[in-house]
Structure 1
Amino acid sequence: MAEVSAEARIEAPAEKVWDRLTDFSSYGQWNATHTSFPHGGPETLAVAATYQENMKLMGFPAEVTWTVAACDPARLLVTKGKGPMGVNLSMSYALTPDGDATTVRIDGEFTGAAVSLMAGKLKESATAALRESLRKLDGLVA
């Protein structure tokens, strides 16, 4: 298993951050691992919604099927994913209002036999991608 996380304070209200975070048409502008949604993002962002995403991590392309596990607008989005080679993923985006700003924390988890072979490199690469994503997200909403 590989667990990753990153956190940043974004100088914008949680609702504004949430709107950008869940605007799947502009996902590639901030998400460093995203390459495309082959069939578009979820039609409705709600628990049990599913969608496919093409990603690139550690230089390798992967298609992941995501299912929304929790959704509390402007507060929390949790998705569970199934990727290639039996890899399971979990991503949690938590938004905490702080005056006129928002603390955004992203936690990710990768499990499966293939992960154990490259857990160290995966953790390093994914953590760097999360930090880059938060930096880009901040630039879009602040």
Structure 2
Amino acid sequence: MADVSAEARIEAPAEKVWAQLTDFTSYDRWNATHTSFPKGGPAPLEPGATFEENMKLMGFPAEVLWTVEELETARVLAIRGKGPMGVSVGTRYSLTADGDATTLRIDGEFTGAAVSLMAGKLKDSATAALNESLRRLGALVA
């Protein structure tokens, strides 16, 4: 198992951060691991909705089938997915409003036999990607 997280204060209201976070047509502008949504993002965005994402992590392409697990507008988006080689992936975006700013925390989780073989490198790569994603997202909404 590999757990990763990153957090940033974004100088924009939670509603504006949420709007960008859930605009699946613009993920390539901020999400450092995203390459495409072959069939588009979840529509409608609701618990139980599924969608496919092509990603790249540690230089390797991966296809993930995601399911929306938790959704609370402008507060929480949690998704869980199945990737290649029996790897399970979880991502949770948590927004905390702070006046005209928002603290956005991203927690990620990777489990499966293949993860244990490269947990250290995976943590480093995924943490760097989360931090880069937060930087890009902040630049888009600020």
TM-score range, shorter chain: over 0.9
For residues 9-88 of structure 1, the aligned pairs below 5 Å read 9-88=9-88
In structure 1, the residue corresponding to 2:71 is in which secondary structure?
strand
SS in 1 for 2:77: strand
SS at match of 1:90: strand
Shift of 1:28: 0.6
Q: 2:118 corresponds to which residue?
A: 118
Question: Unaligned 5+ residue runs, structure 2?
Answer: none
Decide which moves more: 37-46 or 123-132: 37-46
Q: CA deviation at 1:44?
A: 0.8
Q: What is the alpha-carbon distance in structure 2 between the residues aligned to residue 100 and residue 40 of structure 1?
A: 31
Instruction: Encode CA deviations 1:76-119: one digit per residue, 9 max, x unaligned.
Output: 00000000000000000000000100000000000000000000
Give secondary structure in 1 for the equivalent of 2:28. Answer: helix
| Aligned AA (2:43) | E
Q: 1:6 is matched with which residue?
A: 6
Letter of the 1:97 counterpart:
A
- Aligned mates of 1:41, 1:75 — CA distance in 2: 19
Give percent identity, aligned residues only.
74
The residue number in structure 1 matching 2:133 is 133
TM-score of the pair, normalised by structure 2: 1.00
Paired residue for 1:109? 109
Corresponding residue of 1:90? 90
Which residue identity does 1:63 align to in structure 2?
Answer: E
User: How many residues align structurally?
Assistant: 142
